[in-house]
Every structure is written in C-alpha cells, then in structure tokens.
Amino acid sequence: MLLASEQANQAPFLTLFHDLTAVYPINPPASGAAVKLGPMTTAEWLSKFNRLQLGCHWRLHSTCKHSAGPSTKKVTLGKNLEWRQRWYCDHQGSHRDQKVTDVPPKKRRKPAPSIRVGCLAGLSVKKLKGKDSITVVWHWKHKGHDPLDISSIQESRLLASVKEWIKDRVAEGRDWISIHDLLRVDPDTLDQLGTNSTKIPAALAVSRMDIYNVLRRSLIKNSQLRSGCIASLEAWAKQIILEGGWANVATEVFDYKTNGNSGWYMSFATRWQRDALARYGQRIVCMDSTHNTCTGIKVSESVYLYTVLARNQVTGRGVPLAFMLTNAENQIPITNFLKELQREGSFNPEFIMIDCSETEAAAVKMP
C-alpha cells in the first residue's frame, strides 16, 4: 500500500477551473431576454455545453422524446422534434424539508442552508428529427444569487468533471488525507491567475463533505451484497463460509426494548481468524462492544459491534479473533456468540476480560 505522500506524487492533481466568462452570453440583451443559440451540430453543442458547465452548474430537469413503440404517457413534443431537454441552474426551486421523522433529535444531521433560491436561469435544448441540428434557448439571467461571486461558487454543486475526478481518486483506494493533498494549488498557478483573472481553481470549492459523501457511497456500495440488512448479512455469511471461515445469522432474537423477538445478530470469523483463535484464544481473551457502529434494519436502529481479541505472543499487539453485530442489548446474543466460538473455533479460554457491563458478565457466567 502506498503512503499518502507517495500516492500524491503519482496521482494527477485537480487542475480544473471555473470559467467566469462562461456564466453569461457575449453581449447579453439589456432587457434580460433569453438568447437563442444555434442551429448547431450535436458535437458543437456538447462542446458548448461543457464550457457552460465550467461557469454554472446546470442540472437536468426533464427529457422528452418520442418513443419507438406505443406509450401510455402524454408526450408534449412537436412532430418535427426528436427530443427536448430542460436544464436549470442548481439554485432553481425552493427548499423542501426532507427530515427523517423516526430519528431522535440528537442523532439528526444538521444540514447546511439550502442553495435553492428560486433562480430562473435555464437552458431549453431541442433537436430536430432526422437532422443533426440542435437549437438552444438560453435564459441567462440569474435570480437570488450572483454566479460571479465566490461565495455562490463555493455553495454551488460541484462541476461534473470535479465529481468524476473525486470518484476516480476514491476508486484508487485513496482516503481523505491523500485526496486533500491533491487539491492544493501551487503558488506558481496562483501567480499566473492574478487578481483580475476570470478563472478560479475548482479545488477551492471542494469541501471535506464533498469527498466524504463519495467515500461513504463507495463504502456502502462495497459493503452491501444485497438490498436489505438481513439479506446482505446472509450473503456475507455465505461468502465468509466459502472462503474457509464460519458465520451465522440469527433473527427473531428476544429484545427487552421491544419485549418481543425483534432482535437479530450476525457472528463471524474469517479463515485467518479461525487459525488465530486456535493459537491465541486458549488463555486470556478480551471482549468489548462498540455502540452505534452503524444502523440496522431501520435508520433509527442502533447496532453494537462485539469484538473478541487476544494478545499476539510475537508482536505483543491485539488480534481480533471474532466479531458479532447485533441490535439487541441483552445477554442472549452474546451467550450464543460465545457458544458458537466454542463449537466452531475450539474456544476455551482460562480467563475472559470485560468491562463493567452487567450484560456481558451475565453472558460469560452462563454455562
């Protein structure tokens, strides 16, 4: 694995810029009326649109096109048109409250103020049927914000090319630190831009949350083998067993919080953990839990991660021998976890060290 400094030396830096000259058309009408562009070819329009995206983030609102077969949808499209697209400024519309009501107030995220201020800027793109001819009506006048202001640029959504750059760095296995190192703007570039430059480095608009969101989506995609909590856990259990480890997923476990069988747990140990269990798990082991590790079946459901570890006699460091995930806060899952360790991994330690947890103590004392 490469260190962060080594990764930064081998990866491309973010050298994209916001182009302020692409925000407004050349010689816009003083009345604020829309500007017509074209006709132009598809290639010319894509080139033009890529440049417009460097000045303002355009969000696709709708696409309308003729279907090849019969359609039940009402298509309001002229017969001489093949398709039509409408693009709006990302400040268009008004804020909609999308808070999750079943999450306690202390656990709710505090979102940043909405950037939707009712901006009216937009693009109406039309392509003629049977011809490589595209016309565009550009409503260039913005409302509620100044797209040339640095604060408006920072609060706007990232450029599509910047998002792809971040996704590429995440796909390379980089973390926040190594990606942050690639966002630096060297002094020579800043000197060349000058105070009156019409270009602003796109790296200045990238925040920690922008990278965190991409990292989080990547982790979720890689960690969920199936849709649904239990289905994904069962798929992981099968994969661990195929690779030589052991795993078990149990549902309908009694949970005193609901006074019903709403609990579940997954216990597992990979192949190398089974070997470590036989080597280091016969004398002194430690067991501890970490609360709020992740969410469970529901967003409001807290999940506990139980870890059994022992001391490596060679390195002197702790070795995780097995794990268990559960939403229940009683000793039943822990007891079953320890019994499975005895059955699957020859687990018979002389001492088990725990903290002052009555739940863990009750589970350890059970025969």
In angstroms, the Cα distances linking 365 to 322, 338, 354, 358 are: 19, 11, 12, 10
DSSP one-letter code for 317: S
Structural domain ending residue among the three candidates 172, 201, 222: 222
247 & 209 share domain: no
Q: What is the dihedral of CA 69, 74, 78, 83, to 10 degrees?
A: -60
**DSSP 8-class letter at 302:** B
Pair 116, 263 in one domain: no
190 in the same domain as 334: no
pLDDT of amino acid 67: 57
Q: Are residues 68 and 116 in the same domain?
A: yes
Q: Give the residue numbers spanning the domain of 361.
A: 229-365
Most distant CA atoms of the chain, gap in Å: 86
Task: Tell whether 209 and 247 lie within a shared domain.
Answer: no
End-of-domain residue from the set 194, 222, 250? 222
Contacts of 221 (CB under 8 A, 6+ apart): none
Helices (H), the chain: 4-10, 42-55, 150-155, 160-171, 176-181, 187-193, 208-223, 229-242, 271-280, 331-345, 358-365
Helix axes 271-280, 331-345, angle to 10 degrees: 90
pTM of this structure: 0.67
Question: What would the DSSP string read from start to end of 25-52?
Answer: -SS--TT---EEEEEE-HHHHHHHHHHH
Q: Residue 250 has what pLDDT?
A: 92
Are 279 and 214 members of one domain? no
Same domain, 218 and 242: no
Whether residue 168 is found in the same domain as residue 44? yes
* Domain count along the chain: 2
Per-residue pLDDT, 12: 75
- In DSSP terms, 137 is beta-bridged to 36, 124
Are both 123 and 210 inside the same structural domain?
A: yes
Pairing label, strands 35-40, 58-65: unpaired
Count Cβ atoms below 10 Å from residue 71 Cβ, excluding itself. Answer: 9
Among the candidates 173, 199, 222, a domain finishes at 222
Clarify whether residues 111 and 238 are in a common domain.
Answer: no
Residues 6+ apart with CB under 8 A from 244: 270, 271, 274
Q: What is the pLDDT of residue 7?
A: 42
Q: What residues contact 101, with CB distance under 8 A and at least 6 apart?
A: none
Chain segment 314-359, per-residue pLDDT in tens: 888 899 999 999 998 888 899 999 999 888 867 888 899 988 888 8
- In this structure, the answer to whether residues 213 and 267 fall within a common structural domain is no
Q: Rounded to an integer, what distance in angstroms lies between the CA atom of residue 333 and that of residue 258?
A: 15
Q: Which residues of 223-262 are buried (b: 16+ CB within 10 A; e: fewer)?
A: eeeeeebeebbbebbeebeeeebbbbbbeebebeeeeeeb
Q: What is the pLDDT of residue 3?
A: 40
Indicate if 211 and 311 belong to the same structural domain. no
pLDDT lower than 50: segments of the chain: 1-9, 69-75
